[in-house]
């Protein structure tokens, strides 16, 4: 492909200039950029930046890809980098990748640049553009969705990083040059989410099955629901290791702190993918985390999802889970394609059964030996379901 400048969507894609070196160095030293872009020297100096500008970016074009500076069309200020790399001509495929400086985040620059670069690729002989993101990089997943990419699956162990460091994906078209110290332990492997856009895909953003909560939370004035994230690790670990919570978990084993930290970090991305929504049940007045409520959208073709919840001991018997379930159910039935919520309890878990019944759920039957239990035994699962018409109307959502 021949070097070309593009101006659309509020950004200008142009060639890198020597004057960009300080801004490139600043952008590549940003902690978030370093976390999700592997292979860059640390610290990243203006010498490294100049090497990228004069050699790395030009070699991208020579190798059948592309490398653009993302610039403000009015001021020509550098906002980041977007590129096309790893062409596979026999498959008509190429990969897009990007990074943006902190001041440009949340302004749509990455999305506009990705749309422009993808359109350029699809207009120049390629039929498929891939985008890879780390599961914990929710911001990048939002860019993929906004640019019309569809999630296709997981590429297991596709990214390598030094042992003991944060997970780092491998976006394409990034300024990578210079040597890095050898890790003292063998590198670890991380999964990457695979997104793709085809030449024949419809224009516009990719529809989501689980949209964001309005204003970022739901509340009835007594309890509030907000998305679980990486900052909730300590709370979630305490909750999920309580003996009675472990006993009703599947599988019924005590989780490690690392596994809980991973789940919290990946939770925003799971929501964006539409697989599940993990929420914190909080006290509306203080914001204190009191419990967890999960929505598992495992059967979208049936319009059916499952819920599960758990509470910290000091916040039990206050009616919080009933209120939380009603809040979630109202939002689900109004804002998603879900028409039926299900939940299950162990037959002897009378407390959980009372919560579900107060929230409007109806008992539907017993599924014998459905759940794996301790020591290889199987446990029965008492099934409940909630339809929109079953939902009580006495708790307003604000």
**CATH code of the domain covering residue 137:** 3.40.630.30
Summarised one tens digit per residue, pLDDT across range 191-205 is: 899 999 999 999 999
Q: pLDDT tens digit string along 65-107? A: 999 999 999 999 999 999 999 999 999 999 999 999 999 999 9
Decide which of 164, 198, 232 is a domain's last residue. Answer: 198
Q: Is residue 396 part of a domain?
A: no
Shared domain check, 296 and 265:
yes
Query: Looking at the structure, do residues 17 and 134 belong to the same domain, yes or no?
Result: yes
Q: Which residue has the tokens 């350029």?
A: 120
Q: Is residue 1 part of a domain?
A: no
Each residue's pLDDT expressed in tens, for the chain with a length of 398 residues: 789 999 999 999 999 999 999 999 999 999 999 988 878 898 999 999 999 999 999 999 999 999 999 999 999 999 999 999 999 999 999 999 999 999 999 999 999 999 999 999 999 999 999 999 999 999 999 999 999 999 999 999 888 765 554 443 333 344 333 334 444 555 677 889 999 999 999 999 999 999 999 999 999 999 999 999 999 999 999 999 999 999 888 888 899 999 999 999 999 999 999 999 999 999 999 999 999 999 999 889 999 999 999 999 999 999 999 999 999 999 999 999 999 999 999 999 999 999 999 999 999 999 999 998 888 889 999 999 999 999 877 644 43
Domain-located, residue 194: yes
Boundary of a domain, candidates 198, 229, 247? 198
Domain count of the fold of the chain:
2
Query: In terms of domains, do 243 and 353 share one?
Result: yes
What is the rounded distance in angstroms from the CA atom of residue 228 to the CA atom of residue 31? 22
Asked whether residue 395 is assigned to any structural domain, the reply reads no
Residue 113 lies in a domain: yes
> Do the domain assignments include residue 206?
no
Do 177 and 219 lie in one domain? The reply is no
Give the three-class secondary structure for 183: coil
DSSP string of 119-175, one letter each residue? HHHHTTT-SEEEEEE-TT-HHHHHHHHHTT-EEEEEEEEEEEE-TTS------SS--
Structural domain range at position 158: 6-198
Same domain, 243 and 166: no
Q: What is the secondary structure of 79-98 as a DSSP string?
A: EEEEEEEEEEGGGTEEEEEE
In a shared domain, residues 159 and 51: yes
Question: Which of 198, 225, 256 is the last residue before a domain boundary?
Answer: 198
Contact 307, 343 (CB under 8 A): yes
């Amino acid at each position: 492909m021949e070097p070309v400048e593009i101006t659309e969507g509020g950004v200008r894609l142009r060639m890198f200039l020597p004057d960009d070196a300080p801004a490139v160095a600043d952008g590549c030293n940003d902690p978030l950029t370093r976390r999700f872009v592997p292979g860059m020297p640390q610290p990243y100096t203006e010498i490294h930046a100049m090497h990228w500008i004069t050699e790395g970016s030009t070699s991208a074009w020579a190798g059948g890809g592309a490398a653009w500076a993302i610039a403000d069309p009015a001021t020509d200020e550098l906002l980041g980098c977007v590129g096309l790399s790893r062409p596979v001509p026999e498959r008509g495929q190429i990969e897009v990748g990007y990074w943006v400086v902190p001041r440009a985040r949340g302004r749509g620059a990455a999305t506009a640049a990705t749309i422009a670069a993808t359109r350029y690729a699809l207009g120049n002989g390629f039929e498929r553009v891939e985008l890879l993101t780390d599961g914990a990089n929710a911001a990048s997943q939002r860019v993929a969705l906004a640019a019309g990419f569809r999630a296709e699956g997981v590429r297991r162990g596709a990214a390598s990083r030094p042992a003991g460091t944060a997970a780092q994906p491998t976006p394409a078209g990034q300024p990578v040059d210079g040597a890095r110290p050898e890790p003292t332990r063998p590198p670890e492997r991380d999964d990457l989410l695979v997104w793709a856009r085809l030449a024949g895909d419809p224009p516009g953003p990719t529809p989501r099955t689980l949209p964001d909560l309005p204003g970022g939370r739901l509340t009835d004035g007594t309890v509030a629901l907000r998305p679980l994230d990486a900052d909730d690790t300590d709370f979630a670990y305490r909750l999920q290791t309580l003996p009675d919570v472990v006993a009703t978990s599947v599988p019924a084993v005590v989780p490690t702190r690392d596994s809980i930290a991973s789940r919290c970090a990946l939770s925003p991305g799971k929501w964006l993918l539409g697989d599940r929504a993990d929420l914190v049940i909080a006290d509306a007045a203080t914001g204190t985390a009191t419990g967890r409520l999960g929505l598992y959208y495992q059967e979208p073709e049936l319009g059916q999802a499952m819920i599960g919840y758990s509470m910290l001991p000091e916040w039990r018997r206050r009616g919080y889970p009933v209120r939380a379930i009603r809040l979630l159910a109202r939002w689900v039935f109004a804002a998603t394609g879900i028409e039926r919520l299900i939940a299950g309890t162990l037959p002897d878990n009378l407390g959980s059964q009372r919560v579900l019944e107060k929230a409007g759920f109806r008992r539907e039957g017993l599924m014998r030996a459905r759940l794996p239990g301790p020591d290889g035994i199987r446990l029965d699962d008492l099934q409940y379901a909630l339809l929109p018409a079953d939902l009580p109307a006495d708790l307003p959502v604000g």
